[in-house]
Each structure stands twice: as structure tokens, then as C-alpha cells.
Structure 1
Amino acid sequence: MASSNSHAAVAAKNSKFRVLSASLVGTTIEFFDFYIYATAAVLIFPHLFFPASTDPTTATIQSLATFALAFIARPIGAAIFGHLGDRIGRKATLVAALMTMGISTVSIGLLPTYAHIGIAAPLLLALCRLGQGLGL
């Protein structure tokens, strides 16, 4: 009987450690993504996704607006994935949220620039950023 109780205590401790570790990894990836995007939004995206005829300050502000979209989409994503987590299970919902975030992030890296597809480039960037916010 004592062996069974100690085994249950170890399993509970391992479970808490796994949850803590998974939360730490997820939060680290989330904030790393935000820091990388913020840096790119200031240094790179104004030149790639917004017209050259625009004032550099305006292009930077437009780029930072795409950064803000994810913050707007976060509560919406929380409501959607929270509801799905209750309905279909948290594990499947976590996978769906991570896939949404991952696909959106990879898509941003593969987007053509304003010089290639015009106004569709910043619109696609905004769409991908909304996907990141929903998945976050």
C-alpha cells in the first residue's frame, strides 16, 4: 500500500513538472516569436512590404500596425480555442493552436514583397499576423 501511495506521489510530481516544463517552453517560443517579429517590423518589413514612395516613418508605423494585429486577435483566439478545448479536448486544441501559429509564421517567411505582388503583400502579412494572434 505504501508503494502505491509513493508511486502516485511521484506521478503527480512528474505531471506537475511536465506541465511546468511545457508551459515554460510554450511561453519562451511565444515571446521569442514576438521579439523577432517586433525587430523585423521595425528594421525589415517597412522596406519589403510597404511602398517605397511612402515616407519611411509612415512605412514603419504601417509595419508596426501589423505587429498590433496579433494583440487584437489574441482574445478572439483565446475565446475560440478555449471553447474548442472544452468541446473536443485540450490536447487536440493545443495542437491546432500550435499549427495555426506555426503555419502563419512560416507563411510570413515565404511572403513575396510589395515589389512582386503590390498591395497584396501587406494584406497577406496582416492576414498571417492575425493567424499568429489567433493561434497564440
Structure 2
Amino acid sequence: MRIGGVLALEQVVQDAPEQATHAAQVLGHFVRDRAPPRPGYAPDGEPTPTDTSLPTIPEADVQVALTSLTRPKSRAHVDQSEMLSFATLYLAGARLFGADLTRADLSWANLTDVPGLTPEQVRSARINAETVLPPNIRTAVGLSTT
């Protein structure tokens, strides 16, 4: 049922552009509500002393919503700060040792605490001005540190 609701909202984005922003906001709230908190953080963003490790992959309904929000027609209607929060949610604590990030879209991602990230991985991926990188990686890929 949840996946059906997500797909219906995605259809609203395509069929009723005047309602697309509202549909994208609902999808964003759905992801924030259904996705687990970042490791070491409660759902309200407060640090916790217990380990709340993320699952390897998000639940199917959350994945469908994230996919819907990142489609080109939907992206135009999503607040970019929400995109950053989604990217941060799923990359917090990720270990990218040896990961192939060729053409991976890391736009809006916060990669400051991602162990194993290399300049070569960043060069092979797509980033934008809102992608947050560790200072040593920013320098190595030729970006200013400001």
C-alpha cells in the first residue's frame, strides 16, 4: 500500500505540475518518517549513546520514495536542503573503501565522515557545489576549501 501511495504521488508530479511541490514535500516527509535515524542519533537529531546502525539497504517503500524524489521531473520540485538531508541520512557511516563511484550522483551529499573516500572516487562521481567533502579531498580534487 505504501509503495502504491508513493507511485501515485510520483504520478501527481508528472500529471499536475501545479501540485508537484506539494507531492514532493509529502514524499520527503514520508522518507524522513520511515527511514531509520543516522547511527548514533535519535530520530529528533539528538546524539544517543547506543548504536543505531542503518540497514544495508533501505526498506522497499523508502527506496521507491527516494528513487521517485531523485527523478529529474521530481527533483525540480524538491527543496535542495531536503536532498542534502536524504543523502546525509544514507551516507552517514558508509564505508567506501574500494567502492566504484563512477557516475554516482553525490550531489548534495555530506561525505565528511565517510571512511575510505578517495580523490579518485570523487573525480569519477558527479558532485555539485552543495556536496560536502573533507578538506583534504576537496584540495586533492582541486576545489577551494571555502
Same fold (TM over 0.5): no
What TM-score bracket applies, with the shorter chain setting the length? under 0.3
**The structure with more radius of gyration:** 1
After TM superposition, the score normalised by the length of structure 1 is 0.27
After TM superposition, the score normalised by the length of structure 2 is 0.26
Higher helix share: 1
The answer to which structure, 1 or 2, has the higher relative contact order (CA under 8 A, 6+ apart) is 1
